[in-house]
Every structure is written in C-alpha cells, then in structure tokens.
Amino acid sequence: MWQILYVIAFALLAVLAIANLIKNLMVFAQNGTRSQARANPPQPGPSPHPELLDETGQVIREPLLVMRSISVKDVREQLDALYHQGSNSAEGPEEGTPLPEE
C-alpha cells in the first residue's frame, strides 16, 4: 500500500518539476528576445585591457615584463646556497642576505 502512495507522490513531484522547467524555459526565451532588442550597438573595435594603456590612454608598445634566462646549474647552485645557509642558522636565512651571483 505504501509503495503505491510513494509512486504516486514521486510521479506528482516529477510532473510539477517538468512543468516548472518548461515555464522557466519559456520565460528565459522571452527575456532573451527582449534584451536583444534593446541591446547597445556594438563598438567599432575591441578595446584593450586598461593595464595595457599608459596615462594618456595610448596602448603601450614596449614589453611589460622582461625575463632573463638562467641555466639549471645556476639555479641549483642558488638553491644549494640557500639550503646550506638555512641549515647553518637556527632561524633560517636573513632577509638582507643577497643570493649568489651568476
């Protein structure tokens, strides 16, 4: 007896969910056509990101980040120096200590 009641309740909930889904799709479609009708006209071209502009609003043509290449051997030496420097002192490396140069 309870099984029939559960099946009927589940079927009723499924019908309500599908009816709600259809109603929401219709409202969404109507809102989409309304917003397209009053949309702003497209701009003549894509505008650059504000970080790529200088103070006067002109596009910066120079590279914003210059990275130097470093060999794996140099990186390993710097990491080893930091490791040995940290193991010699209990507090760790000091902030003002420069890294070994190339």
Residues with Cβ < 8 Å from 79, sequence gap 6 or more?
none
According to the model, what pLDDT value does residue 29 have? 87
Query: What's the CA gap between 41 and 31, in Å, rounded?
Result: 18
Cβ–Cβ under 8 Å, residues 36 and 42: no
* Residue 39 pLDDT: 58
**pTM of the prediction?**
0.34
Tell me the C-alpha distance between 14 and 21, whole Å.
10
Q: Output the pLDDT for position 89.
A: 64
Low-confidence ranges of the chain (pLDDT < 50): 92-93
pLDDT of residue 96: 55
Q: What is the pLDDT of residue 66?
A: 75
- The tokens for 7 are 């099946």
